[in-house]
Structure formats: C-alpha cells, structure tokens
C-alpha cells in the first residue's frame, strides 16, 4: 500500500501527540468529576466498557497506521460535525477510551477537542454519547481489596476512597478539608497509597502501609514528617496500587471515589483531582456543615 504524504504527516503528528492526549483524557465519567450509576440502581441506564467491541470494517489508511504506531484498539465510527468521521478508540497503554476523527477521505487523522461555532465541546458530547459509562462501584470494590489504610469511624454515615501520593500537595489539602468530618465520626476514609510524584513517593507510601497507627502516619505525611519503608513486599503493593489507579483511568492525584445521592439514586461520584465544588460532595454524602469548621485560611479557596 502506497502511503500519501498527507497520511504520513497526519499519523506522525498523531503519534507524537497521542501520549499527551491520553494523559489528559480519562475514561468517561472521569472528566474532573462525574457520576456513575451503582450496579443495581437504575440498571437500565448503566453501561460498561464491555459493550465496546472491535471494529470489523475497513479502516482509513491513517487510522491503520495509527493503530500500529499508537497501540490503539478501534471500536466504532460515527458521523461527526463538519463532514468528519468520529471514532471511538482505546489507548492500549493506558486503557483509556477516546474520541478521534478522520477526514472524509480518510487521509487526515485528528485528535483533541473539537468545538462548534457556539463553543460547544463536541468531543465531550460525542464521548458522552458513544463511550459507555463505567461502573465505578466495581472500582471501589477493587480498591477496597488493595493495600490500603482506613481512617475514621467504622460506622460512619459516609465513606470515601482517596488515591493518595505522599508528595501530592492537593492530596494533603484534601486530607485537611475532610479531617473535621473524620474527627466528628461522620466520615470513614480509605487511603490508597500510590507512587507517581517524586523518586521517594514509593518509600513514603510503603511507610504509610507499614505503620501500626495509620491515621497518625497519614497525618504526619500531610504535615511534612512522613514515615518511610524499603520493605520489598510493601513496595510491591504500592506498585500494584499504582497500576490499579491507572487501570481505572486516574491520571493524577488525588483520585476520589465516594457514594452519594443524586436525583434519588445511590451513585458513585468520581473525581480526578479535588472534588469541585467541595461543599457539594459533602451534601451528596449527607454530612453537611463540616467545611464551616475549618480554621486554616489557606483552605478557603477550595471550599467555594
């Protein structure tokens, strides 16, 4: 097959930028903060990525090249605005499902945000329409079986899972924001230590897992006095946690999963970063009022 210059240039540009796109993207519903229906609650509306099947038809030449160069799985095509053809693909390195586009003649491949003349994010809309929502109740169950430390009242009204890197400033801010609810006995937190920031994130994460006083270990880490451990078994568990984090599409920390109520349904909310607005998270969990007790002025910007 003879490659046109246009096709080669398109695929070269795509291969160079695809890694950055995959890092900036995440499987729906992880675009900052979304919700996923818990299995059993409104099951008719729930969908999983298992519904995506490999595309069997003929692929445009650029997509064929990109499939090999970018380690892609191609799932489906759909008509997109501006005469483009939209495609649902998966980056096999990260497991993330994305929307990309080819020109009508198939000789140009485009990846990134597409906007219409009103400024509407068409790529996000297409993702909402064509990429099945993931059931993050399964993710919560998998994280619960991972190497974690649990802090707070076992009988707390609300619970959440926090993917935590000891070198992450926003993870430390989140800890301080939720601590009043933990201290009041209203919130139980499962911390999942991972290592993605800094060369010593792994030993600090292992130090949290090794501690006989998990709450104190997390607090010490937040205050800048982390414990460390070079235990190979614990370091392997930290690596496993990190891989699990990536499996579920979390590209940074903190990663947050919690059950709340929306429109009368029990729902798993997911945030790749600090939940925003923070007050809404507490409302969804049914434990309002704790943000009002914060005294650190540096946290005010996160509460609005």
As averages over each run of 10 residues, the pLDDT of the chain (304 residues) reads: 44 44 41 42 31 88 82 90 94 80 92 88 87 84 95 96 96 95 96 94 97 93 94 97 90 92 84 86 92 85 78
- For residue 192, give its domain range: 137-303
Q: Indicate whether 121 and 168 sit together in one domain.
A: no
Q: For residue 44, is it within any domain?
A: no
User: Are 144 and 290 members of one domain?
Assistant: yes
CATH of the domain at 63: 3.10.450.70
Looking at the structure, tell me whether residues 128 and 207 fall in a common domain: no
CB atoms within 10 A of CB 153: 16
> What pLDDT score was predicted for residue 94?
67
In this structure, what DSSP letter does residue 115 have? B
Q: What is the per-residue pLDDT for 23?
A: 42
Query: Exposure pattern of 244-271 as b/e (b: 16+ CB <10 Å)?
Result: bbbebbbbbbbbbbbbbeeeeeebbbbb
């Amino acid at each position: 097959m003879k490659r046109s210059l246009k096709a080669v240039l398109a695929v070269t540009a795509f291969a160079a930028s695809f890694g950055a796109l995959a890092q900036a993207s995440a499987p729906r519903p992880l675009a900052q903060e979304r919700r996923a229906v818990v299995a059993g609650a409104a099951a008719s509306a729930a969908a999983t990525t298992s519904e995506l099947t490999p595309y069997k038809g003929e692929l445009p030449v650029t997509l064929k090249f990109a499939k090999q160069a970018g380690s892609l799985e191609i799932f489906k095509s759909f008509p997109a605005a501006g005469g483009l053809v939209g495609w649902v693909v998966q980056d096999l390195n990260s497991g993330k499902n994305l929307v990309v586009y080819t020109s009508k003649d198939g000789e140009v491949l485009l990846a990134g945000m597409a906007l219409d003349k009103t400024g509407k994010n068409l790529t996000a809309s297409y993702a909402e329409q064509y990429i099945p929502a993931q059931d993050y109740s399964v993710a919560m169950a998998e994280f619960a079986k991972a190497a974690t430390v649990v802090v707070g009242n076992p009988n707390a009204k609300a619970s959440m899972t926090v993917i935590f890197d000891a070198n992450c400033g926003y993870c430390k801010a989140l800890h301080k924001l939720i601590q009043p609810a933990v201290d009041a006995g209203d919130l139980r937190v499962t911390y999942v230590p991972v290592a993605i920031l800094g060369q010593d994130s792994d030993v600090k994460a292992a130090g949290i897992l090794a501690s006989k006083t998990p709450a104190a270990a997390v607090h010490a880490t937040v205050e800048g006095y982390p414990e460390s451990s070079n235990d190979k078994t614990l370091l392997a568990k930290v690596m496993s946690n990190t891989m699990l984090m990536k499996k579920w599409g979390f590209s940074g920390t903190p990663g947050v999963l919690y059950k709340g109520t929306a429109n009368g349904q029990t729902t798993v909310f997911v945030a790749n970063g600090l939940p925003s607005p923070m007050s809404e998270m507490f409302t969804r969990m049914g434990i309002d009022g704790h943000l009002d007790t914060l005294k650190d002025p540096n946290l005010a910007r996160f509460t609005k």
